[in-house]
């Protein structure tokens, strides 16, 4: 058995055990205000990490290209309290313009 298969099986076992442990814990642990605050931020942090990796990397290199312009425009639109569809459209259009003319 190769080391890759050992890693896949080990990771699968760890994920299953972690999920089982989450279902085995008493509900009072999750009703604690601190746990509630942490749980509300987990999806935001995961999405932020995904956007960062997808926007600023290409294979194994760090790149700054048209996607950075889209993120900058989206950030500015969010600071200006623009509606979410407007933020997405502005980011896409600005990224496309920089890609086309940059």
Residue 102 lies in a domain: no
Q: How many domains does the chain have?
A: 1
Across 53-74, average pLDDT: 92
96 domain-assigned:
no
At residue 31 the predicted structure's pLDDT band, cuts being 50, 70 and 90, is confident
- With b for 16 or more beta-carbon neighbours within 10 A and e for fewer, the 87-98 pattern comes to beebbeebbeeb
Domain with 8, as residue range(s), is 1-31
User: Which residues make beta-bridge pairs with 62?
Assistant: 57
Give dist(CA 79, CA 27) in Å, integer: 37
pLDDT for 27 equals 83
pTM of the model: 0.61
Q: 6 in a domain, yes or no? A: yes
Report if residue 90 sits inside a domain: no
Q: Considering the chain, what is the average pLDDT of its residues?
A: 92
Classify residue 95: in a domain, yes or no.
Answer: no
Is residue 24 included in any domain, yes or no? yes
- In angstroms, the CA 20 to CA 48 distance is 27
**Residue entry with tokens 């749980």:** 39
For residue 39, is it within any domain?
A: no
Do the domain assignments include residue 9?
Answer: yes
């Amino acid at each position: 058995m190769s080391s890759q298969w050992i890693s896949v099986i080990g990771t699968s076992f760890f994920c299953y055990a972690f999920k089982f442990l989450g279902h085995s814990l008493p509900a009072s642990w999750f009703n604690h205000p601190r746990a509630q605050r942490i749980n509300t931020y987990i999806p935001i942090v995961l999405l932020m990490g995904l956007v960062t990796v997808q926007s600023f990397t290409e294979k194994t290199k760090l790149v700054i290209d048209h996607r950075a312009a889209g993120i900058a425009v989206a950030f500015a639109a969010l600071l200006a309290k623009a509606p979410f569809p407007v933020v997405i459209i502005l980011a896409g259009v600005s990224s496309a313009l920089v890609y086309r003319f940059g």
